[in-house]
Structure 1
Amino acid sequence: MSGCVFCGIVAGEVPAFTVADEPDGVAFLDTRPVFKGHVLVVPRVHLVTLTDLPAEALAGYFGLVQRLALAVETGLGAGGTFVAMNNKVSQSVPHLHAHVVPRAKGDGLRGFFWPRTRYTDDPEAREYAGRIAAAVTGHRVG
């Protein structure tokens, strides 16, 4: 897609520190990493959110994300990884991408990046669960 920096990277028109270039996607270093070795994994085709990814592309794309999680761990000697994806809100580039961030015990990253909350009580939690469950059975993606 014209003007998409990630499409430019996939096409080889925008320079990047590429770590994998496969039919299911391209992985490259984030230019503003949470920690050094933070990788972004994008599908080759321009898609904005996870719900835009066709069902037949799920195994290939997430297989690549899985391989990158292992590669970041083994290649950097990391204790583990944090794998995350934003859809629309906080998505700095509107092209589907997974973050694979190397982790180490005591690295300073605490849980999620945002404050946590609680449900008022079990009935409120059941209400939220019910609303989501109804949407799961009512909508299919991909």
Structure 2
Amino acid sequence: MSENCIFCGIVAGDIPSTRVAETDGAIAFMDIAPATPGHLLVIPRAHSADLREAAPEDLTAAFLLAQSMVTRVTERLEGATGANLLSCIGADAWQSVFHTHLHVIPRYPDDPMVLPWQPHSGDLDEIKAVSDKLM
């Protein structure tokens, strides 16, 4: 647990949340600033700033619970036809709480969410150059 982490406070029960599921390794609770109806968060119980620091067993617990939450939102929320699973890693990637977490965002036809970029074909030479750096 991290002393100043709001999500650690939720895990400990010191900060109220609307839990919808939990396992020995992770909990799922409703996001208080939902992008769409049913938007929830899944966090490992153990503190880590983001998935780069998380222990493999903590990531496994969180991803397995997120998988079940995706199934649950698409089966139980009227009109939900899909879901986005999002992990923000670092402030420049919109991370605002520095405890590993996954957003499960139910998607509905005509909901207000849009991609933050307009996908288009990239330059193949540039893509290859970047891939070489990652190999």
- The answer to whether TM tops 0.5 is yes
Cα offset, 1:107, TM superposition:
1.4
Match of 1:113 in 2: 116
- Aligned residue among 126, 131, 134 for 2:133: 131
Where does structure 1 lack aligned partners over 5 or more consecutive residues?
A: 134-142
Conserved? CA contact 2:44–2:61, under 8 Å: no
Cα offset, 1:117, TM superposition:
6.3
Match of 1:19 in 2: 20
Match of 1:103 in 2: 107
The count of residues paired between Structure 1 and Structure 2 equals 131
Could you tell me how far apart the structure 1 residues matched to 2:59 and 2:98 are?
Answer: 19
Q: Percent identity at matched positions?
A: 34
SS in 2 for 1:50: coil
Match of 1:85 in 2: 87
SS in 1 for 2:52: helix
Where does structure 2 lack aligned partners over 5 or more consecutive residues?
A: none
SS in 2 for 1:64: helix
Conserved? CA contact 2:46–2:58, under 8 Å: no
| TM-score for the superposition, normalised by structure 2 | 0.88
Cα offset, 1:104, TM superposition:
1.1
Written as runs of structure 1 = structure 2, the 5 A alignment for 1:32-111 is 32-77=33-78, 78-89=80-91, 90-110=94-114
Counterpart residue type for residue 76 of structure 2? G
Cα offset, 1:86, TM superposition:
0.4
